Amino acid sequence: MRITKQREIILQILREKRSHPTALEIYNMAKEHIHDISLSTVYRTLKDMVEKGEIVELHMEGETKARYDLNLDNHAHFKCRHCGRIFDIEIMFPLKLIGFKVERTDIYIYGICSQCSKKEVLA
Select 36 or 73, whichever has its Cβ closest to Zn ion.
73
Q: Contact between 71 and Zn ion (CB under 5 A)? A: yes
Q: Least distance (Å) from Zn ion to the CB of residue 21?
A: 11
Say if residue 94 is preceded by a cis peptide, omega within 30 of 0. yes
Q: Give me the residues paired with residue 110 across strands.
A: 79
d(CA 123, CA 119): 6
Q: Contact between 70 and Zn ion (CB under 5 A)? A: no
Sign of CA pseudo-dihedral 30, 36, 41, 45: negative
Q: Least distance (Å) from Zn ion to the CB of residue 80?
A: 3
Q: Which of positions 6-65 make contact with Zn ion (CB under 5 A)?
A: none
List of residues contacting Zn ion (CB under 5 A):
69, 71, 80, 82-83, 88, 113, 116
